[in-house]
Amino acid sequence: MAKTSVLIIDDNEMNQQLLAYLLAAAGFEVHLAGDAAQAIASMQTLRPRLILMDLQLPGMGGLELTRRIKADPTHQEATIVAVTAYAMKGDEQKALDAGCDGYVAKPIQTASFVSTVSRFMAAKGHPAPRP
């Protein structure tokens, strides 16, 4: 059985590594991108079921990248979860309005992170992998 593919888009390597560790341990196939350009390039061949989106990316921000991904029929079904320290009042709604399916504020709760993103996936009809 193929693993569920996840693309982590975050310009902070420590954040990438923490999320990658948690998700790989839960049975996901993990791919990384440090900015929107890398994400777009990798999505030419990658069809991630889950995308974890930092909203504060260098160059094109995460909200604009989310809009572009959701506008692409190839990737519309991906579950996009904003994972961001950008946690001001109204920011969660901005992320949802841009097309994110969920929102997790940093610092993340490591004990519940995988179950949280799995709930967002399940809400779209995409079961998460079983380790």
Q: What residues contact residue 97 under an 8 Å CB cut-off, 6+ apart?
A: none
* Tens-place pLDDT, residues 67-77: 999 999 999 89
Q: How far is CA 20 from CA 14, 75, 91, 99, 110, in A?
A: 10, 21, 24, 23, 12
pLDDT, average across residues 110-126: 92
**Residue 103 maps to a domain:** yes
pLDDT, average across residues 7-24: 97
> Whole-structure pTM over 0.75, yes or no?
yes
pLDDT > 90 in the chain, percent:
83
Cα separation, 129 vs 51, whole angstroms: 15
- The confidence score (pLDDT) of residue 1 equals 52
Cα separation, 120 vs 118, whole angstroms: 5
Domain extent, residue 33, equals 4-123
- The confidence score (pLDDT) of residue 130 equals 63
Q: Report the number of distinct structural domains present in the chain.
A: 1
**Residue 129 maps to a domain:** no
**Residue 91 maps to a domain:** yes
* Tens-place pLDDT, residues 29-69: 999 999 999 999 999 999 999 999 999 999 999 999 999 99
- Look up the CATH number of the domain holding residue 46: 3.40.50.2300
Count of CB atoms situated within 10 Å of the CB of 86: 17
Q: Tokens 């991906």 — which residue? A: 78
